[in-house]
Structure 1
Amino acid sequence: MDDVTIPDFNPEFLRLWIQHIAENNHKTVGELSYIFCSDEYILNINKEHLNHDYYTDIITFNYNEEEVLSGDIFISVDTVATNAEEYGNGVFKDELERVIIHGVLHLIGFNDKTDEDQKEMTLKEDEALELRERFT
């Protein structure tokens, strides 16, 4: 993998928070792998596996079995940092948590291909982010 610093986060908080979001959507959490990478690495994944030639903050590979969420979630720390400044509140941790829950929501079954889907996804992200303090 490329030389990327793994972001500082509390794994127990993430486990409890993600488990709660999954259970609220009638799912259980199986094996989730988070791969933190650079823009160039995620661009190569996007080209190779999805035939998309653009940078993104997250790519989620779904390995769900029935109601059990499982998958590989690639996150570009470069794009997360940029998006925190451009679209968020400037706090990397907040944007990282938004991206992490975005991947979980994809595994749950939410999409963001259309404008309507994007609005629903953003609403679900915002709802999940509001629940974070319960798990800290």
Structure 2
Amino acid sequence: MSNVIRFFFNDVQISFRDRTILKLFLASLFKKERRSIDYLNIIFCTDESLLQINKDFLNHNYYTDIITFHYTSSDQPIQAELYISVDRVRENADNLGSTINAELHRVIFHGCLHLCGYGDKTSQQIKKMRERENHYLRLYFSKHK
């Protein structure tokens, strides 16, 4: 499998157009970040599903918008899964005065940037992560409105 990006919807309904365009954009994001990709599964789920994953695999008992599982080391092509809570994305969009579409893309780009080695534990890492998220959001939406 080479350069395969797939979307899965687990007990959630969300209008998500232009998947092919997004797949191509994500492939270019990884290329720009100097990372190759073997496969990436993006799984959309509910708050409760992601909370259970958070408890089972990370020993965290709180809601989150995304959990990134990276199965390879940094010198190998990326093999990973992004689990995204659609409930959390909707709430974040409301709280931030954003659209669900923009917030959904931000979260996807955020997970991909984690796979490229960006962190978000320190204030400096968070600043860099936001800069990269905003860069890719501007780039994507300037071409794909």
- The two structures share one fold, judged by TM-score above 0.5: yes
1:46–1:54 CA contact under 8 A, matched in 2: yes
Identity %: 40
C-alpha displacement of 1:2: 5.6
Whether 1:107 and 2:115 are equivalent positions in the alignment is yes
Matched, 1:126 2:134: yes
What secondary structure sits across from 1:55 in the alignment? Answer: coil
- In structure 2, do the counterparts of structure 1 residues 88 and 32 end up closer, same or farther at CA, with 3 Å as the change threshold? farther
Question: Is the 8 Å Cα contact of residues 10 and 44 (structure 2) preserved in structure 1?
Answer: no
TM-superposition CA deviations, 1:97-136 (whole Å, max 9, x none): 0000101000001010111111111111000111103356
CA distance in 2: counterparts of 1:2 and 1:22, whole angstroms:
25
Distance 1:34 1:7, change over 3 A: farther
1:88 Cα deviation after fit: 4.3
**1:70-89 counterparts in 2 under 5 A?**
70-89=79-98
Residues in 2 aligned to 1:67 and 1:24: alpha-carbon distance in whole angstroms: 16
Trace 1:1-136 onto structure 2 (pairs within 5 A).
Answer: 3-64=11-72, 66-89=75-98, 91-132=99-140, 133-134=142-143
Q: Name the SS for the 1:19 alignment partner.
A: helix
Supply the RMSD in Å over aligned alpha carbons. 1.7
Structure 2 unaligned blocks of 5 or more: 1-8
TM-superposed deviation, 1:78: 0.1
Report deviation, 1:42.
0.5
Measure how far apart 1:9 and its partner are. Answer: 2.7
Give the CA deviation at 1:59: 0.2
What's the TM-score, normalizing by structure 1? 0.91
Aligned partners of 1:109 and 1:33: how far apart in 2? 18
- Matched residues in 1 for 2:124 and 2:68: separation? 20
**TM-score after normalising by structure 2:** 0.86
> d(CA) in 1 for partners of 2:17 and 2:76?
27
State the one-letter code of the partner of 2:30: A
Is this contact kept in 1: 2:10–2:43, CA < 8 A?
A: no
**CA distance change for structure 1 residues 7 and 111 in 2, over 3 Å: closer, same or farther?**
farther
